[in-house]
Amino acid sequence: MSPHTRSVSPTRRTRAKDSVLDYPGYALKAGVIAPSTIRAVQQRLNQVGCGPIPVSSLFDRRTQEAVRLLQARSVDGQGQSLRIDGVVGPLTWAALFGAHRVPSIATRPISALMKATLSAASSQVGVMEDPPGSNRGPKVDEYLRAAGLDPSAGSYAWCAAFVYWSFNQAATRLGTANPAIRTAGVLDHWNKAGKAGITRLLAGQILEDLSLLKPGLVFVISTGGGHGHMGLVEDFRDDRLITIEGNTNLPGDREGVGVFRRNGRTISDINRGFLSYEVSSDA
């Protein structure tokens, strides 16, 4: 059942005075019943000067207003303003209790296919186009061919081809079928995945329930004009996604030059959503 319709117990490390520290894995807002966690939030809001509000264990209007005040005064770990919505998601929790209190997802159980896919992708970090800016190179050509393109026939963005290649390497190693959509088009991948019944998660769903965020998810961003960018989620630390991406660079420009591990994206940056190719853990 959803945390909106049932009582949920807090996660939990506690310190003296009943201050819950670790993010509970779901957003706190009006309608959520989590007395101990809400009480800790209310205490902390008072401590940081966003009150005074009653420590009632209910996420009421005054608590929501205090959260908005905190959000208006705070920035995230990258210095970006928080969304002022009165909801305590992972970014607001980090501002309230500290970014280290939003736990890593790297230890969450995932299937053998997801582990192997991330291993394949990680092995490519540092691969560069040759020459830079050409959308070519020995490894880049390999990614494109895996996705069904002839690299010599044109200049192709290759982030989606890299994702497909990573899944294909994993499936080959495990002796199983590759479930990933074979395409070099980002939005084509997203649309075909939906038609194929692949699980698609929106950023809002994950912000509501962080337990949905697992290593191996494919993030999909629409950049406008029918274009997009995608990559693989590896971890989530200090309120940022850790991702492995092809056809990118560390500043994050769309026209990237290699395979990089990046740590600058927020969940809300993912404006199209996430794809889950998760299968059973004994796959």
- Is the predicted pLDDT of residue 163 greater than 90, yes or no? yes
pLDDT of residue 255: 64
- Specify the CATH number of the domain 112-276: 3.90.1720.10
**Measured distance CA(212)–CA(78) in Å, rounded:** 23
* pLDDT given for residue 280 in this prediction: 40
pLDDT digits (tens, 9 = 90+) for 60-70: 999 999 999 99
Domain 14-101 is of which CATH architecture?
Orthogonal Bundle (1.10)
Give the DSSP H/E element, type plus range, for residue 26.
Answer: none
Global confidence as pTM: 0.80
Q: What totals of helices (H) and strands (E) does the chain contain, helices first?
A: 8, 8
Alpha helices in the chain (DSSP H): 35-47, 61-73, 90-97, 112-122, 138-146, 159-174, 186-195, 203-208
Tens of pLDDT, residue by residue over 176-235, are 999 999 999 999 999 999 999 999 999 999 988 888 999 999 999 999 999 999 999 999
Sketch the domain layout of the chain as residue ranges.
14-101, 112-276
E strands, 157-250, are: 199-201, 218-224, 227-237, 240-248
Confidence check: pLDDT of 275 > 80:
yes
Residue 64 is predicted with a pLDDT of 97
At residue 152, the pLDDT reads 95
> Does the structure show a pLDDT above 50 at 282?
no
